[in-house]
C-alpha cells in the first residue's frame, strides 16, 4: 500500500521523541551517579552567589511562581480578549497550559527528589518533586506564546532573542537558588515545546499514524509471502442480522467455499443465532460480541466513545465506536496474506488504509455512489484507489465510480452482480390475492409511498391484500399510515420472515417502491419464482434487471398514481401477469450462483497474477 505522508508527522515524531528522551533522562537522573554529577555542577554555580545575583534569581523565582505566573497568564489572555482578539487569547491559553501543565505530569510520573535541603535555603515552599522545573516550563511557555503572537511582525526576532535570554536566566536561577538540579532545567526545555506542539496539532495526530503505518508497510512488503487467493475473509458489519447485503454475502461465500477457505468476519454480534442459515463450509467469527454487554452507565460520555476510524457520513456510523475501531485495527493489521473482501464504504475505507501489503483487497459497493453524502464521496475518491479491486453491482454505478475515481481508480474496477438466493418451492401459481413487498422498514424503501398507492388499488380491487415483510425503525409510522387511510384490513406488516420462497408462493404480484435501490435481491427472488414485478424506476438497480413490459413493469420514481395503476393492471389482467412472470423466470437464470461464482473466480485469478507480476496498484 502506498500512503502519502505529509511533513507534519516528522514534527509530531520529533515531539514524541523529545518527550520520550526527557522521560528516560528523568528516570536516569534519579540514579546515585547522575545525582552526584548534577550536584557537582550545582555547587559550581552556587559558588558564584553574590547579593545582586541573588536578588535577580529571587525576582525570577517570584515572577514565575504559581500565583504570579497564573496572574501573568490571566493578564495576557485578558488583554488579548479585551482588544478584540478572543481566538488569539484562547490559543495563548492553550499554549501556556500545555507547556506548563506537562511539568506537573512529568513530576508525578518521574518523582525525582529535590536537591538536599541545605542547598535551597534561599527559596521557600517547594514541592517534593524536582524533574522538570515548573518555573522554566512556565517561562518558556510564555515566551513561545508571545513569539506566536508576534509571528510575521517586526517584533518577532526581538521577542525570540529576549525570550531565549530570559529562559537561560531562569534555568541558571533555579540551580543557583538550589531549587533544581541542572538536568531538571534541561528536561524543561525538552518537554515544553514538545507538549505545546502535540496539543496545538492534536487534530493532525492521525498523520503520525500514517507515517508509522507507511514504515510498517515497507517492512512488511519486504517480507510478504507470495499472494494466496485460496484464503478469503469477507468483512461484514452484522452477519447475524437481516438485510440484502447479508443475504448476498452468504450466497457468494457459500459458492466460493466449494474451492476456497472462506471466513465471514462480522464486526459486531448482537444476536444469538443467524437470521439466514450459514452456508456449509463457511466459518463465521466476530470482532465485537455485544450480546451480554450492559448499557453504559455514563451516557454523557458517549461522544468520547465515537468511532474515529469510520467516517461520520457512513450510514451505519452509529454501530461503530472506539472499541470496534481497535478491534478492526487489530484484525486488519493482523492479516498476513490471502484475500479480504469488504462490503460497505466504512469498511472499504478502513481496509484501503490499514490492510497490509501482503493482502489482496476487494471493496464491494452495495449501494449507488450518488446515495453517499458528499464528504464520504470525497473520501472514496481519495482512498479507493489503494484497493486492488472495486466491485459494483450495476453498470450505472460502475460508470459513476469510474468518473469519481478517475486516474486514481484501481486496475480492477468492474461490475459483478449479486447471485440469486436459492429459495424453497417452485414457481408461484399466481392465484393468491396478495401483493408482496419485502425490505427493511426504512424511509429509503418507500413503503409509505406504497401504502398511499395501495389506497387506490384497494378501492379498485377489493379482496386483495398488501403484505409488507420486514422490520425496522419506520414500523410505527407505517402502521399509523395504514390506520389513518382505513387500510387496516387489507395491509399486513407481519415482520421479518426467513422463508422468502414460501411467502412468494402465496403472492401474485411483487411491488418495489424504493426511493433509490442498488442491485435489488428481492426483485431477483420474485423473478425466480415467476412473480411479476411492478417497480419504481429508481436509481439504479431495477432498470438493469428488468426490461419494461417484458419481464417486469417500471413506473416513474415516486409516482404514486402510476404505481397504483400498474399494480391494478397486473391484478386485473391475469394473462399479462402470467406472461411477465414466465419471462421473469428466464431472466433470473442469468444470476445463477454458479455463473456469478465463476466471475468472482476470474477476478481472484487476475488479482493473483497481477501480484505475482508486480503490477498491482498497492
Q: In terms of C-beta density within 10 A (0-12 exposed, 13-18 middle, 19 or more buried), how is residue 414 classed?
A: middle
- Does residue 564 carry a pLDDT above 50? yes
| Lowest-confidence segment of 58-72, 207-221, 482-496 by average pLDDT | 207-221
Q: What is the pLDDT of residue 3?
A: 40
The C-alpha angle 416, 497, 293, rounded to 5 degrees, equals 90
Q: What domains does the chain contain, in order, with CATH numbers?
A: 8-41+48-206 (no CATH), 228-291+315-415 (3.40.50.2000), 434-591 (3.40.50.2000)
Q: Percentage helix, strand, coil, to 5, in the chain? A: 55, 10, 30
The 509-512 sheet, strands edge to edge: 491-495, 465-469, 434-438, 509-512, 533-536, 553-555
490 half-sphere exposure, CB direction, 13 A CA radius: 22
| Lowest-confidence segment of 23-27, 239-243, 325-329 by average pLDDT | 239-243
Of 274, 351, 347, 254, the C-alpha closest to 594 is: 254
Dist CA 270 CA 252 (whole Å): 23
| Lowest-confidence segment of 291-300, 337-346, 556-565 by average pLDDT | 291-300
Dist CA 592 CA 571 (whole Å): 29
Dist CA 229 CA 434 (whole Å): 46
How many Å separate Cα 335 from the centre of its chain? 19
Q: What is the pLDDT of residue 85?
A: 87
Q: How does DSSP classify residue 224?
A: P
Q: In terms of C-beta density within 10 A (0-12 exposed, 13-18 middle, 19 or more buried), how is residue 103 classed?
A: buried
Residue with the bigger pLDDT between 72 and 563: it is: 563
**185 Cβ contact partners less than 8 Å away, ≥ 6 residues apart:** 132, 133, 136, 170, 171, 174, 175
Grid coordinates belonging to 10: 516528522
Q: What is the pLDDT of residue 311?
A: 94
3-class DSSP state of 363:
strand
Grid coordinates belonging to 368: 449507488
Of 557, 477, 553, 566, the C-alpha closest to 515 is: 557
Q: What is the pLDDT of residue 70?
A: 85
Q: What is the pLDDT of residue 602?
A: 97
pLDDT tens-digit series, residues 241-261: 988 889 899 999 999 999 999
Residue with the bigger pLDDT between 61 and 571: it is: 571
Q: In terms of C-beta density within 10 A (0-12 exposed, 13-18 middle, 19 or more buried), how is residue 589 classed?
A: exposed
Q: How does DSSP classify residue 114?
A: P
- Please provide residue 573's backbone torsions phi and psi, each rounded to the nearest 5 degrees: -115, 90
Beta strands 465-469 and 491-495: pairing type? parallel
Grid coordinates belonging to 151: 509571528
- Does residue 268 carry a pLDDT above 90? yes
Residue with the bigger pLDDT between 489 and 125: it is: 489
Looking at the chain, the number of H-run helices and the number of E-run strands are: 22, 13
Q: What is the pLDDT of residue 4?
A: 43
List residues bridging with 362 in a β-sheet.
341, 389
Confidence class for position 8, pLDDT limits 50, 70, 90: low
| Lowest-confidence segment of 93-107, 108-122, 176-190, 482-496 by average pLDDT | 108-122
**Contact call for residues 199 and 90 (beta carbons, < 8 A):** no
pLDDT tens-digit series, residues 176-227: 888 889 999 999 999 999 998 888 876 655 655 666 677 778 887 887 778 8
Instruction: Find the mean pLDDT for residues 574-592.
Output: 95
pLDDT tens-digit series, residues 357-415: 999 999 999 888 988 999 999 999 999 999 999 999 999 899 999 999 999 999 999 99
What is the torsional sign of CA 473, 479, 481, 484? negative
- Does residue 559 carry a pLDDT above 60? yes
Q: How does DSSP classify residue 116?
A: P
Grid coordinates belonging to 300: 454523557
Dist CA 549 CA 557 (whole Å): 16
The pTM score is: 0.69
**348 Cβ contact partners less than 8 Å away, ≥ 6 residues apart:** 342, 363, 364, 365, 380, 384, 387, 390
Determine how many CB atoms are found less than 10 A away from the CB of residue 126: 15
Buried b / exposed e over 531-542, threshold 16 CB at 10 Å, is bbbbbbbbbbbb
Residue with the bigger pLDDT between 3 and 223: it is: 223
Dist CA 76 CA 78 (whole Å): 5
Q: What is the pLDDT of residue 125?
A: 53
| Lowest-confidence segment of 126-140, 227-241, 525-539 by average pLDDT | 126-140
Grid coordinates belonging to 616: 498491482
pLDDT tens-digit series, residues 462-487: 999 999 999 999 999 999 999 999 99
* % pLDDT > 70, the chain: 93
What's the mean per-residue pLDDT of the chain?
89
The 360-364 sheet, strands edge to edge: 282-289, 261-269, 231-236, 339-342, 360-364, 389-392, 412-415
Instruction: Find the mean pLDDT for residues 45-69.
Output: 85
* % pLDDT > 90, the chain: 65
- Does residue 301 carry a pLDDT above 70? no
How far lies 3's CA from each of 13, 204, 209, 355, 451, in Å? 17, 16, 11, 11, 50
Q: What is the pLDDT of residue 609?
A: 92
- Does residue 432 carry a pLDDT above 90? yes
Is omega for the bond preceding 132 within 30 degrees of 0, making it cis? Answer: yes
Q: What is the pLDDT of residue 298?
A: 66
- Does residue 541 carry a pLDDT above 90? no
Q: What is the pLDDT of residue 1?
A: 38
Alpha helices in 461-546 (DSSP H): 475-484, 500-505, 521-528, 541-545
- Does residue 508 carry a pLDDT above 60? yes
Q: What is the pLDDT of residue 516?
A: 86
- Does residue 557 carry a pLDDT above 70? yes
Amino acid at each position: 500500500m502506498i500512503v502519502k505522508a505529509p511533513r507534519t508527522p516528522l514534527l509530531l515524531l520529533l515531539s514524541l521523541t523529545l518527550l520520550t528522551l526527557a522521560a528516560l533522562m528523568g528516570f536516569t537522573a534519579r540514579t546515585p551517579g547522575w545525582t552526584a554529577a548534577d550536584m557537582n555542577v550545582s555547587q559550581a554555580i552556587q559558588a558564584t552567589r553574590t547579593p545582586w545575583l541573588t536578588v535577580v534569581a529571587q525576582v525570577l523565582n517570584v515572577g514565575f511562581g504559581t500565583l504570579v505566573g497564573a496572574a501573568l497568564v490571566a493578564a495576557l489572555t485578558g488583554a488579548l480578549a479585551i482588544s478584540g482578539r478572543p481566538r488569539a487569547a484562547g490559543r495563548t491559553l492553550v499554549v501556556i497550559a500545555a507547556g506548563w501543565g506537562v511539568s506537573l505530569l512529568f513530576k508525578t510520573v518521574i518523582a525525582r527528589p529535590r536537591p538536599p535541603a541545605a542547598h535551597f535555603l534561599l527559596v521557600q515552599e517547594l514541592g517534593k518533586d524536582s524533574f522538570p522545573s515548573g518555573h522554566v516550563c512556565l517561562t518558556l511557555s510564555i515566551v513561545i506564546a508571545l513569539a506566536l503572537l508576534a509571528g510575521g511582525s517586526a517584533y518577532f526576532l526581538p521577542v525570540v532573542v529576549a525570550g531565549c535570554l530570559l529562559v537561560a536566566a531562569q534555568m541558571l536561577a533555579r540551580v543557583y537558588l538550589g531549587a533544581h538540579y541542572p538536568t531538571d532545567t534541561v528536561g524543561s526545555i525538552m518537554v515544553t515545546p514538545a507538549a505545546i506542539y502535540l496539543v496545538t496539532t492534536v487534530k493532525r495526530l492521525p498523520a503520525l499514524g500514517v507515517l508509522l503505518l507507511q514504515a510498517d508497510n515497507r517492512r512488511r512488503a519486504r517480507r510478504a509471502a507470495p499472494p494466496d487467493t485460496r484464503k478469503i475473509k469477507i468483512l461484514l458489519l452484522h452477519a447475524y442480522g437481516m438485510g440484502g447485503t447479508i443475504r448476498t454475502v452468504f450466497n457468494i461465500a457459500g459458492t466460493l467455499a466449494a474451492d476456497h477457505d472462506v471466513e465471514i468476519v462480522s464486526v459486531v454480534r448482537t444476536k444469538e443465532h443467524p437470521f439466514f442459515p450459514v452456508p456449509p463450509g463457511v466459518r463465521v467469527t466476530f470482532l465485537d460480541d455485544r450480546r451480554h454487554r450492559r448499557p453504559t452507565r455514563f451516557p454523557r460520555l458517549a461522544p468520547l466513545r465515537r468511532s474515529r476510524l469510520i467516517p461520520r457520513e457512513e450510514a451505519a456510523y452509529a454501530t461503530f465506536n472506539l472499541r470496534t475501531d481497535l478491534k478492526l485495527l487489530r484484525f486488519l493489521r493482523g492479516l498476513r496474506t490471502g484475500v479480504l473482501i469488504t462490503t460497505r464504504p466504512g469498511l472499504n475505507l478502513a481496509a484501503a488504509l490499514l490492510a497490509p501489503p501482503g493482502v489482496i483487497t476487494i471493496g464491494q459497493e452495495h449501494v449507488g455512489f450518488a446515495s453517499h453524502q458528499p464528504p464520504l464521496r470525497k473520501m472514496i475518491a481519495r482512498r479507493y484507489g489503494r484497493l486492488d479491486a472495486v466491485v459494483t453491482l450495476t453498470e450505472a454505478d460502475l460508470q459513476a465510480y469510474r468518473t469519481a475515481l478517475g486516474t486514481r481508480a484501481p486496475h480492477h474496477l468492474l461490475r459483478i452482480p449479486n447471485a440469486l438466493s436459492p429459495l424453497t418451492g417452485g414457481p408461484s401459481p399466481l392465484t393468491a390475492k396478495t401483493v408482496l413487498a419485502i425490505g427493511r422498514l426504512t424511509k429509503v424503501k418507500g413503503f409509505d409511498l406504497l401504502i398511499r398507492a395501495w389506497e387506490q388499488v384497494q378501492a379498485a380491487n377489493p379482496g386483495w391484500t398488501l403484505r409488507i415483510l420486514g422490520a425496522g425503525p419506520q414500523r410505527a409510522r407505517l402502521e399509523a399510515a395504514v390506520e389513518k387511510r382505513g387500510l387496516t384490513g387489507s395491509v399486513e406488516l407481519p415482520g421479518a420472515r426467513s422463508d422468502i420462497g414460501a411467502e412468494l408462493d402465496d403472492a401474485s404480484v411483487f411491488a418495489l417502491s424504493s426511493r433509490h435501490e442498488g442491485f435489488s435481491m428481492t426483485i431477483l427472488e420474485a423473478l425466480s419464482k415467476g412473480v411479476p414485478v411492478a417497480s419504481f424506476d429508481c436509481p439504479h438497480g431495477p432498470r438493469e434487471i428488468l426490461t419494461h413490459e417484458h419481464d417486469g413493469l417500471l413506473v416513474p420514481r415516486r409516482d404514486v398514481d402510476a404505481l397504483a395503476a400498474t399494480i391494478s393492471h397486473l391484478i386485473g389482467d391475469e394473462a399479462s401477469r402470467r406472461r411477465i412472470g414466465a419471462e421473469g423466470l428466464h431472466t433470473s437464470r442469468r444470476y445463477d450462483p454458479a455463473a456469478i461464482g465463476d466471475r468472482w473466480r476470474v477476478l481472484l485469478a487476475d488479482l493473483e497474477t497481477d501480484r505475482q507480476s508486480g503490477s498491482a496498484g498497492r
